[in-house]
Structure 1
Amino acid sequence: MSTVALGTLTAALLTLIPWSGTAVAHGSVVDPASRNYGCWQRWGDDFQNPAMAQEDPMCWQAWQDNPNAMWNWNGLYRNGSAGNFQAVVPDGQLCSGGRTEGGRYNSLDTVGAWQTTDVTDNFTVKLYDQASHGADYFQVYVTRQGFDPATQPMGWDDLQLVETTGSYAPSQNYEIPVSTSGLSGRHVVYTIWQASHMDQTYFLCSDVDFG
């Protein structure tokens, strides 16, 4: 294929992908990066690069499944959960928020060796709230020692609650200090953000390595 034809095809593909993540502003955990935010951060400018399949295979399968899961990295939420999260988000579907938004985020539930962020026993979850929704509270969970997210689907029983916060006034940046002990190796940090503007709940998986 000629360079001109390839450029035309790329432009046509981009026009088919809605960039509503920016227009419909919400938010996500940016450090340690949530799965889809990390994929967008690493590959958003180069999402058709076939090298991703070898260098970052979990992001590759996510981009192939639905690019909008990354363009809309800030829209992984459910409305109307009424705090009954385990009823609306089944085991094996935690990272997609129970296959929310018509299944847009289903690829985030895929079991495998997602790229990790190095953390220590004491770390800070940083969340970007593009729309300044505020928070009634945050709940931060970490997978239990012995659970391997690279080979096992994650369920609620695989999580231990390490932090529950009070409310946060509307802002664009929140920080949640987290303390753990006795953890090593690969884990998932699971952050639940109950927004303040309505019954809207975000379910966010971040892959980490405690070393």
Structure 2
Amino acid sequence: MVFAIVAGMLPFTGAAQAHGTIINPMSRAYQCWKTWGSQHMNPAMQQQDPMCWRAFQANPDTMWNWMSQLRDGLGGQYQARTPDGQLCSNALSRNDSVNQPGAWKTTTVSRNLTVQLYDQASHGADYFQVYVTKQGFNPSTQKLGWGNLDLITTTGRYAPAQNISFNVSLPARSGNHILFVLWRASHLDQTYMWCSDINVT
């Protein structure tokens, strides 16, 4: 129990780890942390949420540090420096569990939705790029590659704030998809990438 409390506090223990993630629709690591962080030893997770269970088995730090999925110095070369199959982890090997296809929990959305970022350190954004998987992509069986995505929008700048939200209109889609969001933070050449599992109705 003590370990769970201490580990759960890790994302908040210093500026180096104070970053952010997409909280709606929830990114994969955040969803696992939000749902199971306080009960990560609960055997029910294996049956109720098998992808989170696998992720916790592979590396619990992926969930404890859901705020810290960033890379420095990409210089805008996102596709060239992020291989297919590694988009959901932002090509960070420690977070490879979130690249794995399977029955990830989904957030039900309409074609018009609001994307919400929580950024504890209030970095602001040069921009966000938002993509959605093409119709026919199956997140249960396929790893995500750039060729599976359609770019929906590139936003403008956002001033530093802990909570940033923006509206997105999906093209014609139905069923389970991945919403892929790239955040270029304003304070440094620092890029974040996440996958959020959605069910478009």
Give the TM-score range, shorter chain: over 0.9
TM-score by length of 2: 0.95
- Residues in 1 aligned to 2:6 and 2:113: alpha-carbon distance in whole angstroms: 39
5+ long unaligned stretches in structure 2: none
1:94 maps onto 2:87 in alignment: yes
Task: Encode CA deviations 1:134-187: one digit per residue, 9 max, x unaligned.
Answer: 000000000011111111111000000111101000000111210023200000
Task: Encode CA deviations 1:42-98: one digit per residue, 9 max, x unaligned.
Answer: 001100001100000000000111111111010001101100011221000000101
Q: Which amino acid aligns with 2:31?
A: G
Question: Of the candidates 11, 23, 28, which is equivalent to residue 21 of structure 1?
Answer: 11
- Residues in 2 aligned to 1:134 and 1:158: alpha-carbon distance in whole angstroms: 28
- Residues in 2 aligned to 1:176 and 1:16: alpha-carbon distance in whole angstroms: 33
- 1:42-191 matches, cutoff 5 A: 42-98=35-91, 100=92, 103-191=93-181
- Residues in 2 aligned to 1:118 and 1:15: alpha-carbon distance in whole angstroms: 30
Query: What SS does the corresponding residue of 2:75 show, helix, strand or coil?
Result: coil
- Residues in 2 aligned to 1:42 and 1:166: alpha-carbon distance in whole angstroms: 32
1:204 maps onto 2:194 in alignment: yes
Q: Which amino acid aligns with 2:105?
A: Q
- Residues in 2 aligned to 1:176 and 1:14: alpha-carbon distance in whole angstroms: 34
Q: Which amino acid aligns with 1:207?
A: D
Q: How many matched pairs?
A: 198
* 1:184–1:209 contact (8 Å) kept in structure 2: yes
RMSD, matched Cα: 1.4
- Residues in 1 aligned to 2:49 and 2:169: alpha-carbon distance in whole angstroms: 29
Question: Of the candidates 24, 41, 46, which is equivalent to residue 31 of structure 1?
Answer: 24
* 1:139–1:163 contact (8 Å) kept in structure 2: yes
1:40 maps onto 2:33 in alignment: yes
Following TM superposition, where does structure 1 have runs of at least 4 consecutive aligned residues deviating by more than 2 angstroms?
A: 13-20
Q: Which amino acid aligns with 2:134?
A: R
5+ long unaligned stretches in structure 1: 1-9
Percentage of matched positions with identical amino acids: 52
TM-score by length of 1: 0.90
- Residues in 2 aligned to 1:137 and 1:143: alpha-carbon distance in whole angstroms: 20
- Residues in 1 aligned to 2:131 and 2:149: alpha-carbon distance in whole angstroms: 6
- Residues in 1 aligned to 2:6 and 2:119: alpha-carbon distance in whole angstroms: 26
